[in-house]
Amino acid sequence: MTAAAIALDWIIGDPRWPTHPVILIGRWIRWMEGMLRKENDRQTALRLKGVLLTTTTVLISFCSVLTIILAARAVNEWLGYAVCTWLISTTIAIKGLKDAAYLVYNPLRKGNLADARKYTGYIVGRDTDALGEEELTRAVVETVAENIVDAVISPLFYALIGGAPLAMLYRASNTLDSMVGYRNDRYRHFGWASARWDDVMNWIPARLTGLLLILVAMLQRGLSAKRAAAAIRRFAHLHPSPNSGIPESAVAGALGIELGGLNVYGGVASERARLGWPLRPRTQQDIVYAVRMLYGVSFVVMGGLLCVLLVLF
């Protein structure tokens, strides 16, 4: 089912019909936040309410998917397999990541910085109005690299362990982090549990992703596996996330470029850890290389799954 889910995502990506499970999870999170948060809440109350939000969201996501699959299997075993495959496919976003990256790459290729800035703003939180080609490229490459963990390897890892219910539990955890797991005044305490839980869920998959990216760099012409491995060792721990630095460092090392640096959020400058060695300037073509690495990782995973199936059956 996991291999079929990867193939399904390659082909159709994330259609919005029927309503995508992640959209439903997002609506639940916003509703719960509105119910739980009060203007006069103190730090301890916010943290406890954040724990409640995290716990209820992941448990409801797991139980809902399990109930749907059991109901489908009660009707027909093959229907159960089909529903499970589709639900797993909704937790990964290989095609969606590629499409988002190319929404920026295509205008860049035509010299249309205005559209490239607009579409980059759809996928990153930093200010994009004044970014040139090198910085737009960096933003997209960093997003693709980080999401090889969040949108590919982590959900597949949990799908292999516990099927669609556990994969959806992971997707709920990641959605929580993306919506409330910020270190700003609003979410520093309320989103603390969501951010820490997402770190825990991604810990093993992030390290598997690092190994897979090194392997992909060995298999793709023009990439350096040796430099990817060295970059992980040298730079990954500098990233504020215990997990995101691994794929970003690996991609930077493999491509021979530097990621990280100065970002601006709401007009406020923020210096992020610099990852990799600036052996050459970043160019729009690095977006293509990052997407190739994304697909390379998915091909390696698919190949491994098919080999296991051949051995077992």
Cα–Cα distance measured from residue 105 to residue 95, given in angstroms and rounded to the nearest whole number: 15
- DSSP line for the chain: -HHHHHHHHHHH----SS--HHHHHHHHHHHHHHHH--TT--HHHHHHHHHHHHHHHHHHHHHHHHHHHHHHHHH-HHHHHHHHHHHHHTT--HHHHHHHHHHHHHHHHTT-HHHHHHHHHHH-SS--TT--HHHHHHHHHHHHHHHHIIIIIHHHHHHHHHHHHHHHHHHHHHHHHHHH---STTTTTTTHHHHHHHHHHHHHHHHHHHHHHHHHHHHSTT--HHHHHHHHHHHGGGSSSTTTHHHHHHHHHHHT--B--EEEETTEEEEPPPBS--SS---THHHHHHHHHHHHHHHHHHHHHHHHHHHH-
For the chain, the distance separating the N- and C-terminal CA atoms, rounded to the nearest angstrom, is 14
Query: Per-residue pLDDT averaged across 252-268, rounded?
Result: 93
Cα–Cα distance measured from residue 201 to residue 173, given in angstroms and rounded to the nearest whole number: 8
Query: Per-residue pLDDT averaged across 20-25, rounded?
Result: 91
Tens of pLDDT, residues 165-205: 999 999 999 999 999 998 888 889 999 999 999 999 999 99
Cα–Cα distance measured from residue 89 to residue 10, given in angstroms and rounded to the nearest whole number: 9
Q: Give Cα separations from 162 to 111, 158, 213 (angstroms).
A: 46, 6, 24
Give the per-residue pLDDT at 308: 83
Residue 17 has pLDDT above 80, yes or no: no
Cα–Cα distance measured from residue 131 to residue 126, given in angstroms and rounded to the nearest whole number: 10
Q: Does residue 264 contact residue 291 with C-beta atoms inside 8 Å?
A: no
Neighbouring residues of 297: CB distance < 8 A, sequence distance ≥ 6: 148, 152, 153, 209, 212, 213, 216
Give the per-residue pLDDT at 41: 86
Closest CA to 9 of 155, 130, 163: 155
What's the mean per-residue pLDDT of the chain?
Answer: 94
Position 2 confidence tier, pLDDT thresholds 50, 70, 90: confident
Share of the chain above pLDDT 90, in %: 83
Give the per-residue pLDDT at 33: 94
Position 300 confidence tier, pLDDT thresholds 50, 70, 90: very high
Give the per-residue pLDDT at 18: 62
Residue 98 has pLDDT above 90, yes or no: yes
Residue 105 has pLDDT above 90, yes or no: yes
Tens of pLDDT, residues 28-77: 999 999 999 888 889 999 999 999 999 999 999 999 999 999 999 999 99
Q: What's the whole-model pTM score?
A: 0.93
Position 107 confidence tier, pLDDT thresholds 50, 70, 90: very high
Give the per-residue pLDDT at 186: 87
Beta bridge pairs of residue 271: 262
Highest mean pLDDT: which of 15-19, 126-130, 179-183, 282-286? 282-286
Give the per-residue pLDDT at 65: 97
Cα–Cα distance measured from residue 225 to residue 232, given in angstroms and rounded to the nearest whole number: 11
Position 16 confidence tier, pLDDT thresholds 50, 70, 90: low
Residue 222 has pLDDT above 70, yes or no: yes
